[in-house]
Amino acid sequence: MAKTNASHRWRILTTSIVRNFARHFLRRSSNKRYIVLLGGPGAGKGTLASQLAALLGIAHLGMGDVLRRKDIQIEFGDRLAPMKSGGLIPDSLILEILERELARPEYANGAILDGIPRTLEQALLLERRLAWQGVSVNNTVLLDVEEEELIERLSFRRICPTPSCRRSYHLKYAPPQVADICDACKGPLIQRPDDVPEVIRERLRKYSVEILPLCKYYQDARRVMVTVKSTKGSTPQEVLNLVMTALSGN
């Protein structure tokens, strides 16, 4: 009995030494960086993510785009079915897809995460997943935009649905050169079905509930969050400048 206990303790000890060494080594050798973008629908996370990606050389991972992608739909289609009717997809499935995605070579330098995590559970699962590689979320940026401004932005938003393009326009402030046609790829623009007023209100209500525990976690527990206010008329470049300043002081 004593022998069993001793060998059991020894096994735990060696396992933890090996694990700590691996973490220490990976952390030292890893130059991966993970930045989480938080903010309501229409806050400009996608635009900011593309700008940061180009500036920092870290790939943008938009979870909404990943979930809509053909290969993911083919592989996980049945399990993602509730998404189409506004139902909930389990956090574990979202993380399974994220994990698969992060293993792709374009994320060798880390990722700028937009649209994930949406819940505290997802944030904790993400942290656990990254810990295995000896890394963690380095920064979180909360794009703080007033609700009326979000409604205004979303209801005038038109997007290019071409998967390789996905450029976004605002009919008042950033209209396409030719009405309803994408400047970049010349494809037809669409209004997302969830960018209509009654659905927007519901999305904002859901967001205001979801964001609280995430802010608490990243701000109070992890202390990696910066908040950047984006007001009416802020250009994407101005928002980017504020974010870069905030990140350099973080």
How many residues in the shown chain lie near Zn ion by CB under 5 A?
8
Find the binder of Zn ion among 37, 48, 182, 242 (CB under 5 A): 182
Residue 131 exposure: Cα atoms within 13 Å on the Cβ side: 8
Amino acid at 12: I
**Shortest approach of Zn ion to residue 69 CB, angstroms?**
16
Q: Which DSSP symbol is given to 221?
A: I
Is there a catalytic annotation at residue 203?
yes
Q: Dihedral of CA 212/218/223/224: which sign?
A: negative
Q: Which is nearer to Zn ion, 64 or 187 (CB)?
A: 187
Q: Binding of Zn ion at residue 189 (CB under 5 A)?
A: no
Q: Which DSSP symbol is given to 49?
A: H
Q: Binding of Zn ion at residue 181 (CB under 5 A)?
A: no
Q: Binding of Zn ion at residue 185 (CB under 5 A)?
A: yes
Is there a catalytic annotation at residue 68?
no
SS3 content of the chain, % helix, strand, coil (to 5): 55, 15, 30
Q: Which is nearer to Zn ion, 98 or 182 (CB)?
A: 182
| Active-site residue, from 45, 153, 158, 167 | 45
Q: Which is nearer to Zn ion, 39 or 176 (CB)?
A: 176
Backbone angles phi, psi at 228, to 5 degrees: -125, 125
**Shortest approach of Zn ion to residue 120 CB, angstroms?**
35
Question: Cα separation of 243 and 226, whole Å?
Answer: 8
Query: Interface residues with Zn ion (CB under 5 A)?
Result: 160, 162, 165, 167, 182, 184-185, 187
Q: Which residues are catalytic?
A: 45, 118, 157, 192, 203
